[in-house]
A = this chain, B = another copy of it.
Amino acid sequence: MENVNIPARPDLWIRVEEIRLPPPSLRDNTADLDRLLKGIRKSLGTEHIVCDLSIIKRIPSLLREFNYSVKAALFRDGEVWNMVDLFSSEGEDAFYGFAVDLGTTTIVMEMVDIKTGKTVDRATFHNPQIQAGADILSRIHFTSSNGNNLRVLQSLVTDRINVEFKRMAASRVTDPSRFVAMSVAGNTTMTHLFLGITPYWICREPYIPAANRFDGIRASSLGLDMNPLAPVLVFPNVGSYFGGDLIAGIMSSGMTETDEVSLLVDVGTNAEVVIGNSEWLMACAGAAGPALEGGVASMGMIAGPGVIDRVRIEPHGDRFVITTIGNERPVGICGSGLIDLVSELFLAGMIDIRGKFIKEQCKERLQEKDGVAYFILVEEKDSGTGTELTLSQPDIDALIRSKAAMYTILTTITNTVNVPLHSIKTFYVAGTFGSYIDPRSAITIGMLPDLPLSAYVSLGNTSLMGARKALISKEAAVEALRIRDRITYLELNVNQEFMNLFSAAKFLPHTDRALFPSVKERRPGSS
C-alpha cells in the first residue's frame, strides 16, 4: 500500500492534543469547558476554539472519568479549531481518517492513521447504487421517480461504507469514535447523492448542480458510523460534468506546478480531460460510455481475482497469451484487457479497420448465435466460470464508439486552446482502471494519440490519492479550491464539426492513418 508521509505539523488540519489539566479546587473554580479550552489553547497556540453543545454536555463526566488527563481531537476550518471529541490520555492511542474515492462504478476507501499518515487498511467495492442504474443518468432518473429514492441511493452508499467501518474497527480492535475525519472525492452526481442533495437539475438544461462547494459537513448529518462530529471534507466540483474526483486528480498529477502544458485524462464511464499548466487550466468532459471500463462487454468485469487484464496474440498464431489478476483461472475481462484484446485482434488481422471480425482469420474461434457474431477468447475447459468467455461484435462496436468519443474530445480541447495534440510532452492517465491500460494498445485502437510511450504517465487512482492528501494536509484542501477556481470549463458542443471528428475516429486506429504512424509499422497490412 502506498503511504504518504505526514507533513510538517503546522500544516495539519486534524490534530489530537494530549493535555493534562489541573483538577478544579476552591482556588481554581474555572468551569469545566473553560479549563479544557485553556489547556487546548496553550497546546495549540491559538485562541479560536469552538465546541459543539453535544460535547459540552459530556465534558463534566469525561473530565472526571479521565482524571483531567485527556486527548482532544480537533480540526481546523479557516482560523477556527473545532472540537471533535475527548478521549482518555491512557490506553489506545490510534485515531483514524478515511480517504474515499466515490466512483460511479467502484468505491475505494482507505483507512489512514492520523498520527503517522500511513494507510493501514483499504476496501474496494462496487458502488451499490448500481442496482438502481449502472450509469449516472439512470441514477438521476431513479431519484426523481419517487420522493424517497434520493434517500435510498444515499443510504446504499453510506450503509456499505458503514459495513467497512465495522470490519475495519473490528480488525484493529478500535472504536468508531476514533474515526475522526473523512475526505471524499467523487464526480458531481456521486457527490450530490452522497450528501443527499438532489442531482435532478444536473442532467437537465442548462445542466446545473445544486452546489459546487460543501463546507462544514459532519459525519452525523450523513449517517456515517464514525465519530458524529468528524468533519467530512468533500472535494468541490467545477460543474455538472466535472467533479471533485477530477480536482483531486489534477492535484495529484502535479500538472499545475510546471510551465509545460500537459494533458490529463481520466478514463472512466465519462472521459474527462484537462489541459494546462501552472498558469491556466481548461477542462472538458463527455460521455465515453462504460465500454472503456469493460462495463458493456458480456464478459466485462471490474478488476479482481481471475479478471483478464492483459492479452497478447502470438505472431501468426492462434495462441492467446492471457494474464489474469492473481494468476487465477479467467472469469472475465476488465477495461485494460478489453483494449488489449481489440488491439491485438486488429494487429493480428482478425478484425478490420471498422472492427468487424474477419472470418478467415478468426477460424473456429468465431461463432454465431441469434445472428450475432462472437469470438471465443477462453474455452469452457480453461474458464474459471465453467462457461466460455466471449467477445461479441456489439462489444467491439461499443468499444469503438467509446474510444472514438475519447479521441474526439482530446482533439476538440487541444484545438480550442490551439496546442497540437501530438506536441504534448506529458500525458497523464488517471482513473481507477486507467492505470492498467497499456498505452500502446490504446494507441493501436486510436483511443489515445500516437505519442512516444514515454510521454504517458500512469497515475493510478488519482481521486483516491487526492482524497488521501487532503485528509492529511491542510494545504491540500486549500489547494483543491484554488485549482477549482482556476479551471475554465469547455462546454462540449455536439455539433456537426464534433460529429465529423467523431465519425473519422470510429475506425481502427483512425481514417487519417498519418496520425498513427507507429500503428502502421505494427500492422503494415491494414489500409
Residues of A within 8 A of B (CB): 24-26, 28-34, 50-54, 56-57, 59-61, 195-198, 200-201, 205-217, 221, 237, 239-240, 491
The answer to whether residues A200 and B53 also contact, given A29-B240, A208-B24, A212-B34 and a CB cut-off of 8 A, is: no
- Nearest chain B residue, comparing its CB with the CB of A34: B212
Interface of chain A: mostly helix, strand, loop or mixed: loop
15 contacts between A and B (CB under 8 A): A26-B205, A26-B491, A28-B206, A30-B208, A31-B209, A31-B212, A31-B237, A33-B213, A53-B216, A56-B210, A60-B197, A60-B198, A60-B201, A60-B210, A61-B198
Chain B residues contacting A60 (CB-CB under 8 Å) are: 197-198, 200-201, 210
Chain B residue numbers with a CB within 8 Å of A212 are: 31, 33-34
Say yes or no: B33 contacts A211, CB within 8 Å.
yes
A196 in contact with B57 (CB, 8 Å)? yes
Cα-based distance from A413 to B59 in the complex (angstroms)? 33
Give the Cβ gap from A23 to chain B, nearest Cβ, in Å. 9
A206 touches B54 (CB 8 A): no
A31 and B217: CB pair below 8 A? no
> CA separation between A371 and B60, bound complex, in Å?
48
Smallest CB gap from A195: residue in B: B53
Report yes or no: B216 in contact with A32, Cβ–Cβ below 8 A. no
Q: Is the CB of A32 within 8 A of B214?
A: no
> How many Å lie between the Cα of A195 and that of B237 in the bound state?
38
A59 engages B211 (CB within 8 Å): yes
Chain B residues with CB under 8 A of A198: 57, 60-61
Q: What 7 additional pairs, Cβ within 8 angstroms, besides A29-B207, A53-B197?
A: A24-B208, A30-B208, A32-B210, A34-B212, A53-B214, A57-B195, A57-B197
Please measure, in the bound complex, the distance between the C-alpha atom of A335 and the C-alpha atom of B244, giving whole angstroms: 66
Complex: how many Å from CA A221 to CA B229?
14
Determine the distance from Cα of A320 to Cα of B107 in the docked complex, in whole angstroms. 85
- Given A206-B25, A206-B26, the answer on whether A239 and B31 have CB atoms closer than 8 Å is yes
Residues of B within 8 A of A53 (CB): 195-197, 214, 216-217, 221
Closest to A188 in B: B31
In the complex, what residue of chain B is closest to A199 when comparing beta carbons?
A: B60
A238 → chain B closest CB, angstroms: 10
Residues of B within 8 Å of A240, CB to CB, are 29
Give chain B nearest CB distance to A395 CB in angstroms.
35
In the complex formed, the residue of B with least CB distance to A150 is B57
A462 to chain B, nearest CB (A): 23
| Distance from A232 Cβ to chain B, minimum over Cβ atoms (Å) | 10
Q: Does A29 contact B215, Cβ atoms closer than 8 Å?
A: no
Residue of B nearest to A196 (CB): B57
Q: Chain B contacts of A59 at CB under 8 A?
A: 210-211
Query: With A34-B211, A50-B216 as given contacts, are A206 and B56 in contact (CB-CB < 8 Å)?
Result: no
Q: List residues of chain B with CB within 8 A of the CB of A52.
A: 216
> CB-nearest residue of chain B relative to A28?
B206
Q: Chain B contacts of A200 at CB under 8 A?
A: 60
Q: Let me know if B54 and A208 touch, CB within 8 A.
A: no
Chain B residues with CB under 8 Å of A197's CB are: 53, 56-57, 60
Question: Nearest B residue to A215 by beta-carbon distance?
Answer: B50
Query: CA separation between A293 and B224, bound complex, in Å?
Result: 51
Closest to A207 in B: B29
Q: Please, which residues of chain B bring their CB within 8 A of the CB of A205?
A: 26
Contact, CB under 8 Å: B29 / A210: no
A146 to B: closest C-beta gap in Å:
16
- Nearest residue (CB) in B for A48 is B78
Interfacial chain B residues near A54, Cβ < 8 Å: 221
Contact A210 B26 (CB under 8 A): no
CA distance A24 to B213 in the complex (A): 18
A237 nearest CB neighbor, chain B only: B31
A33: nearest residue on chain B (CB-CB)? B211
Measured between C-beta atoms, what is the minimum distance from A518 to chain B in Å? 40
Nearest CB to that of A54 among chain B residues?
B221
Q: Within the assembled complex, what's the spacing in Å between the Cα atoms of A61 and B198?
A: 9
* Assembled-state Cα–Cα distance A54/B212 (Å): 15
